[in-house]
Amino acid sequence: MGYAVIMLLIVFLCHEVSSISTLPHKHQTISLLKFKQSFTIHPSASGFCQESYPKTSSWNTSRDCCSWDGVVCDDITGHVIELDLGCSELVGTIDSNSSLFQLSHLQSLDLTGNNFSNSHISPEFGKFSSLKHLDLSGSYFSGQIPSEISHLSKLHSLRLSTVFSIYSKKLRLTTHDFKSLLQNLTQLRELDLIGINISSTIPLNFSSHLTTLRLTYTGLYGIIPESLFHLPNLETLDLSRNYELSGYFPKTKWNSSASLVGLDLSGVNFSDNLPESLGYHLTSLRSLFLRSCNLRGPIPESLSNLTRIKYLYLNRNSLNGTISPGMLSLPSLKYIDLNFNHLSGPLEDFKSNSLISINLEGNQLQGHLPHSIQNLVNLTCLILSFNNFSGCVDVSLFSNLKQLLCLSLSYNNFSGRVDVSLFSNLKQPRYLSLSYNNISLTNDNNVTLPESLYTLELAACEVKELEFLRSTKQLSYLDLSNNKIQGRIPDWAWSNWMFSLQDLDMSHNMLTSVDSIPLQFADIIDLRSNLLQGSLPIPPISPTYFFISQNNLSEEIPSSICNLTSLVMLDLAGNNFRGEIPQCLGNITALQVLDMRHNNLSGKIPTTFSNESSLRSLNLHGNKLEGKIPRSLANCKDLEVLDLGDNHLIDTFPMWLGTLPKLQVLSLRFNELHGPIRTSRIENMFPELRIIDLSYNVFSGNLPSCLFHHLKAMRTIDPSMEAPRYFGNTYYQDSITVAIKGSDREIVRILYLYTVIDLSSNKFRGQIPSIVGDLIAVRILNLSQNGLQGHIPPSFGDLSSVESLDLSGNQLSGEIPQQLASLTTLSFLNLSHNHLQGCIPQGPQSHTFERNSFEGNDGLQGFPVSRSCTDDRVLDTNDIVSGLDDEESNSEFQSDFRKGALMGYGSGLCIGLSIIYFMLSSGKPIWLARIILEMEHKIMRGRRKKQRRQRNYRRRNNHF
Ligand SMILES: *[C@@H]1O[C@H](CO)[C@@H](O)[C@H](O)[C@H]1NC(C)=O
Ligand SMILES: *[C@@H]1O[C@H](CO)[C@@H](O)[C@H](O)[C@H]1NC(C)=O
Ligand SMILES: *[C@@H]1O[C@H](CO)[C@@H](O)[C@H](O)[C@H]1NC(C)=O
Ligand SMILES: *[C@@H]1O[C@H](CO)[C@@H](O)[C@H](O)[C@H]1NC(C)=O
């Protein structure tokens, strides 16, 4: 501030003060006015306040300062004892020189909801020795809270909670100061430190006067001292969002006076059952929040004694058993949230009509919906998705529920017809979801859904036309996927939703044409798997995700597609696009996924990929692309998946791709790639590669030992890969075609733990280098149909993960190494059409292999080719893992998915999962996602069991 300004200020103050006569008013008035002058006023100073106004703007000397807004003086002494400037739009700082600290008689100071610009809390606050109430919440203070605060030994309430905003920095309180604060402030009734970084354990000594303790999100850790639950006057206890904190519930007594009204321990780890004592002792409870507390076991019956409870939130735990009828009869209950637990059984009648919101999503509840739902006249939200409810969805159930804003019944087993008129009584519905039941939506009375609708999910509801949406004008999320909508999307729909729709999913329908997509704010457009014809419609404004694969679109891809500069995913696969790929696509630097496989594209692959490229996945499989693999791909440092298979590319092996640090999947199969695969001097090539498919090319020379020498990811078994992680996200999952068990299979999702080396059907010659045995993580190894000679290296016995091994159609000679017998994971072996001789080694998997695995050799003996072999020693028949044959079980799969899991279990991970995916892609729509996950987990578990078995097998074999 300039000198002149200060002078002016002083002159101004002197003028204002001149009319003041009596002490102490004179000093106080000066102090208050100085304080006022140290701030500017800004209406949106803090996000903390619902309402605010500048209290200080009315302060002037024409009136006694004791009558000013927010100022209270002692009647007798005239000292200012209360200053309430909460939500007063102040912006500025309070430093140690502030005139505020001259008001030394203050007993109550409220400065909440202003903006003190992330300044520190001055130690001078500790000098207000009479202070009983101090509130600095939500006022953008930051830094260390001074230890002097503990000098305020008369404090009854201390509130320092921070606002959660990107602009607010954290306040900190040292463990030591936290403890001395609790020790010294013996009069404390209310302590509110929400959002302050304390990072401490909870001390034992709390004032027994304490009524309110809020320590939300303060980084507390350790165990909650049980004494806290016994504080005799405690009404509100909030320790939520301290994720390092754990606790035990008092088994018998809580606080003797049953004073507790609000309890929030969400996020605290209890790893325990909820005790019955809770319902008996906490009879005053109005709100109980125990979200994500790792609770197990049943919900105690005693909770039905909590007759005053309004808010009951036990979501995201592992509670099981049924929901007792008593819970649904609690007379005051308004909000009940039990989502994502393991609750089962039917839903009993609702005896209390006070309910406003019910969320039971993600349990295993079953049976019909109780009729008493229709009495819940004040219900605004009913979320029952992801359960096993069944029966009809009766119109009468909802006809009284006029207040309903959100209703979700999706992912259940409801069946029969549901008429749109079910919803036409609702006044202001915002969110409706019926997706993935067995219902068919009808509209016998030609009603339309209310205009207020914001989110509508009707996937797999047999929807045939859109007329019922004619009145909707605010739709933002619309999921009509997996329905029977034919023809075109009507013009009224586009004009209704042009400015509202953000997320449109009409995939898996029978739409035949989309001339244009005039959406101005779309983020996701999904029109996959329709019957769309004509040319590619280009939206006017760039969405983030644009999926229009599996249609019959044709003609050239217009270069105006490159105007969609915010595209992150573009999926045009499975159409009839022809002509060249627009070169400019390489310039969309946001693009992460570009999928154009299975079209008729010709010409060259774009060469314009720059260093700024975000490309993660490029799939151009199954086109007629020519020329070389563009070198500019080496700029795409984020590339994980590159599939250029089944084209007419003519080039040598792109060893230079090996410098891409994240490349994990490389398929170049079915091209005209040729020449030997030469050594490169660069270290650490292809460090992350897990799938390499070079089959059906004309590569020659020796097998590329140089390449095998790299491939770090295939040389170590990384246990963290065990978790079922996929390439892609919920919107797009990479898929790839690989040969599994001798036939091509499309794997619709690529798990990180797939590992494939396929060099089959080339012109490789010479011996198989023993270094192949170092690739211990490989699951599918195919070197068939080459000109390989010599022996099978004994090092193959080290391939402890291999599930499918194909060396057929070569010139291999000599005996099959005994070591192959120890490959317990192997479920497919093909050594046919070579010159192998001698005894077939026998191991735990031998019975799974058929005669044709060995046919066409010079002289192999033993099971399964012949009975007698001189050295026939069958090892460990107890350990046999049953393996089903693929063909015979395929038909079974169609009828029973769970059998597929068993099948996968027997066949090894890769093979099993690929069979499941194959089955799913030919059968029902992908809504069985949950079942897939379940099966994946089963297979994973099976795999771990198998690994144990393998270890046992090895251990036993070491004794031989
Ligand atoms: C406790 O308060 C007294 C005065 O009220 C003060 O002298 C003392 O230093 C305080 N103790 C701590 C640990 O802050
Ligand atoms: C609490 O509920 C149980 C069973 O729900 C009941 O037997 C008991 O009498 C109730 N206790 C009180 C104090 O209301
Ligand atoms: C609830 O889970 C426990 C294991 O946490 C189990 O012992 C009990 O049988 C389950 N009860 C029900 C009703 O499923
Ligand atoms: C529904 O809400 C209204 C207004 O809040 C209230 O007066 C009425 O008692 C409520 N009805 C029930 C059954 O709780």
Cα–Cα dist 44/172, whole Å:
25
Evaluate whether 698 touches 786 at the Cβ level (below 8 Å): no
pLDDT score of 196 more than 70: yes
Count of beta carbons in the 10 Å neighbourhood of residue 287: 19
Does position 874 have pLDDT exceeding 70, yes or no? no
CA–centroid distance, 172 to ligand 1, in Å, is 20
With bands split at pLDDT 50, 70 and 90, how would you rate the model's confidence at 911? low
Answer yes or no: is the C-beta of 353 below 6 A from any ligand 4 atom. Answer: yes
Looking at the DSSP bridge assignments, the partners of residue 788 are: 766
Between 529 and 898, where is the model more confident? 529
Amino acid 48: pLDDT: 82
326 lines ligand 2 (CB under 6 A): yes
Using CA positions, which residue lies closest to atom 8 of ligand 1?
151
Of 704, 716, 661, residue with least CA distance to 683: 661
**Residue of minimum CA distance from atom 7 in ligand 2:** 302
Please give the distance, rounded to the nearest whole angstrom, from the Cα atom of residue 150 to the centre of ligand 1: 6
Residue 310 CA to ligand 4 centre (angstroms)? 13
Residue 862 pLDDT: 81
* DSSP structure class, residue 818: G
Q: What angle do CA 14, 17, 20 make, to 5 degrees?
A: 145
Q: Tell me, yes or no, whether 475 lies in a domain.
A: yes
pLDDT of residue 909: 60
CB 186, CB 155: distance < 8 Å: no
628 C-alpha to ligand 4 centroid (Å)? 73
User: Are the CB atoms for 226 and 250 separated by under 8 Å?
Assistant: yes
Return the ligand number nearest the Cα of 273: 3
Taking residues 305-312, report their average pLDDT: 95
Comparing 647-661, 765-779, 823-837, 888-902, which segment has the lowest mean pLDDT? 888-902
Least confident interval from 350-364, 558-572, 819-833, 863-877: 863-877
306 and 405 in a common domain: no
Which of 147, 150, 179 to probe ligand 1 with, by most ligand atoms within 8 A of CB?
A: 150
Q: Which amino acid is at 188?
A: L
User: Which ligand has the minimum distance to the alpha carbon of residue 331?
Assistant: 4
CATH code, 51: 3.80.10.10
Considering only residues 126 and 728, tell me which one the structure prediction assigns the higher pLDDT.
126
The ligand whose atoms approach the alpha carbon of 126 most closely is 1
Ligand 1, CB within 6 Å, residue ranges: 150-151, 153, 180, 184
Q: Choose one of 254, 302, 303, 348 to mutate for the ligand 2 pocket test, by most ligand atoms within 8 angstroms of C-beta.
A: 302
Q: Is-contact 589 566, C-beta < 8 A?
A: no
Q: How many CB atoms lie within 10 A of CB 538?
A: 17
Q: For 314-322, what is the mean pLDDT?
A: 95
Give the pTM: 0.81
Give me the domain span that covers residue 893: 870-960
- Does some domain include residue 629? no
Q: Which of 310, 356, 357, 378 to mutate to test the pocket of ligand 4 (most atoms within 8 A of CB)?
A: 378
Q: Are residues 353 and 480 in the same domain?
A: no
CA-nearest residue, atom 9 of ligand 1: 151
User: Quick check: CB of 321 below 6 Å from ligand 3?
Assistant: yes
- Span from the CA of 379 to the centroid of ligand 4 (angstroms): 10
Cβ of 400 below 6 Å from ligand 4? no
With a 6 Å cutoff on the Cβ, whether 354 touches ligand 4 is: yes
Q: Looking at the CA of residue 353, tell me the nearest atom of ligand 4.
A: 13
Q: Are residues 150 and 9 part of one domain?
A: yes
Tell which atom from ligand 3 comes closest to the C-alpha of 342: 14
Rounded Cα gap, residues 527 and 518, in angstroms: 14
CA of 686 relative to ligand 2 center, distance in Å: 67
Residue 276 CA: which ligand is closest?
2
How many whole angstroms from its chain centre is CA 417?
A: 33
357 and 337 both lie in a single domain: yes
CB 192 within 8 A of CB 185: no
Domain count, the chain: 4
Looking at residue 79, what is its pLDDT? 93
Q: Is the pLDDT of residue 223 over 80?
A: yes
- Which of 484, 511, 534 lies at the terminal end of a domain, its last residue? 484
Rounded to a whole number of angstroms, the distance between the first and last alpha carbons of the chain is 90
20 lies in a domain?
yes
What is the rounded (10 degree) CA torsion for 396, 399, 405, 407?
10
**Same domain for 9 and 72?**
yes
Same domain for 83 and 200: yes
CA of 404 to the centre of ligand 4 (A): 14
**Residue 533: which residues within 8 A CB-CB, separation 6 or more?**
512, 513, 551, 552, 553, 554
Expressed in angstroms and rounded, the spacing between residue 143 Cα and the centre of ligand 1 is: 21
342 alpha carbon – ligand 2 mean position (Å): 25
Place of tokens 């004494």: 227
Q: Residue 378 CA: which ligand 4 atom is closest?
A: 1
- Judge whether 689 lies within some domain: no
180 domain-assigned: yes
Confidence of residue 554 (pLDDT cuts 50, 70, 90): very high
Residue-wise over 775-802: b if at least 16 C-beta within 10 A, else e? Answer: bbbbbbbbbbbbebeeebbebbbbbbbb
Pocket test for ligand 1, best of 151, 155, 158, 177 (most atoms within 8 A of CB): 151
Q: Does residue 951 surpass a pLDDT of 60?
A: no
Q: How much is the pLDDT for 883?
A: 30
Which-ligand-closest: CA of 354? 4
191 & 336 share domain: no
Q: What is the mean pLDDT of residues 404-431?
A: 91
Three-class HEC string of 356-406: CEEECCCCEEEECCCHHHHHCCCCCEEECCCCEEEECCCHHHHCCCCCCCE
Domain boundary among 484, 510, 539: 484
* Claim to verify: residue 480 and residue 413 sit in the same structural domain: yes
Ligand approaching nearest to the C-alpha of 300: 2
Judged by phi (left if over 0) then psi (alpha if -120 to 50, else beta), residue 143 lies in: left
Angle between helix axes 25-37 and 3-17 (nearest 10 degrees) is 140
For ligand 3, atom 12, name the residue with the nearest CA.
321
Which is the closest atom of ligand 2 to the Cα of 324? 5
How close is the Cα of 374 to the center of ligand 4, in Å? 14
How far lies 958's CA from each of 296, 878, 910, in Å?
Answer: 44, 17, 29
Whether residue 669 contacts residue 697, with contact meaning beta carbons closer than 8 Å, is answered with yes
**How far is 1 from 204, CA to CA, in rounded Å?**
48
- Same domain for 152 and 123, yes or no, is yes
Strand 236-238, strand 212-214: pairing? parallel
Does the pLDDT value for residue 893 go beyond 60? no
Q: Which two tokens stand for residue 414?
A: 């409801």
Does ligand 4 lie within 6 Å of residue 378's CB atom?
yes
Is the per-residue pLDDT at 446 higher than 80? Answer: yes
Q: Which residue's CA is minimally distant from atom 4 of ligand 1?
A: 151
Measured in whole angstroms, the distance separating CA 9 from the mean position of its chain's CA atoms is: 57
> To the nearest whole number, what is the mean pLDDT of the chain?
85
What is the percent of the chain where pLDDT is above 90?
66
Q: Say yes or no: 398 and 443 in one domain.
A: yes
Question: Ligand 4: does its nearest atom lie under 6 Å from the Cβ of 852?
Answer: no
- pLDDT > 70: percent of the chain: 86
Determine the pLDDT at residue 352: 84
Whether residue 258 has its Cβ less than 6 Å from ligand 2: no
Is the pLDDT score of 824 beyond 50?
Answer: yes
The closest-lying atom of ligand 4 relative to the alpha carbon of residue 376 is: 13
Atom of ligand 3 nearest to the CA of 296: 5
Domain endpoint, select from 332, 349, 366: 366
Cβ of residue 322 lying under 6 Å from some atom of ligand 3: no
Bigger pLDDT: 883 vs 136: 136
Residue 280 maps to a domain: yes
| pLDDT the model gives residue 683 | 81
Which ligand is nearest the CA of 271, by number? 3
The answer to whether 144 and 76 are in contact (CB under 8 A) is no
On whether both 181 and 290 belong to a single domain, the answer is: no
Q: In 3D, which of 156, 157, 148 has the Cα closest to residue 180?
A: 148
pLDDT score of 162: 83
Q: If you take atom 14 of ligand 2, which residue's CA is the nearest one? A: 305
Q: Is residue 628 part of a domain?
A: no
Please check whether residue 208 lies inside any domain of the structure. yes
Residue 582's pLDDT band (cuts 50, 70, 90): very high
- Nearest alpha carbon to residue 527 among 483, 495, 563, 464: 483
Nearest CA to ligand 1 atom 2: 151
Probe ligand 3: pick from 272, 319, 320, max atoms within 8 Å of CB? 320
Same-domain pairing of 340 and 477: no
The verdict on the CB of residue 724 being under 6 Å from ligand 3 is no
Task: Kindly state the helix (H) or strand (E) to which residue 606 belongs, with its residue range.
Answer: none
Distance CA 641, CA 732 (A): 13
Q: Does position 476 have pLDDT exceeding 70, yes or no?
A: yes
Q: Give residue 723's pLDDT.
A: 63
Confidence of residue 655 (pLDDT cuts 50, 70, 90): very high
Q: Which ligand has the minimum distance to the alpha carbon of residue 127?
A: 1
Q: Give the pLDDT score at 958.
A: 34
Q: What pLDDT, on the 0 to 100 scale, is given for residue 481?
A: 93
To the nearest 10 degrees (0 to 180), the angle between helices 929-958 and 897-907 is 30
Whether 309 and 335 have beta carbons less than 8 Å apart is answered as no
Q: Which is higher by pLDDT, 547 or 870?
A: 547
Integer Cα distance of 324 and 166 in angstroms:
43
Q: What is the mean pLDDT of residues 210-235?
A: 93
* DSSP string computed for 540-604: SS--SEEE--SS---SBPPGGGGG-TT-SEEE--SS--EEPPPGGGGG-TT--EEE--SSEEEEE
pLDDT score at 810: 96
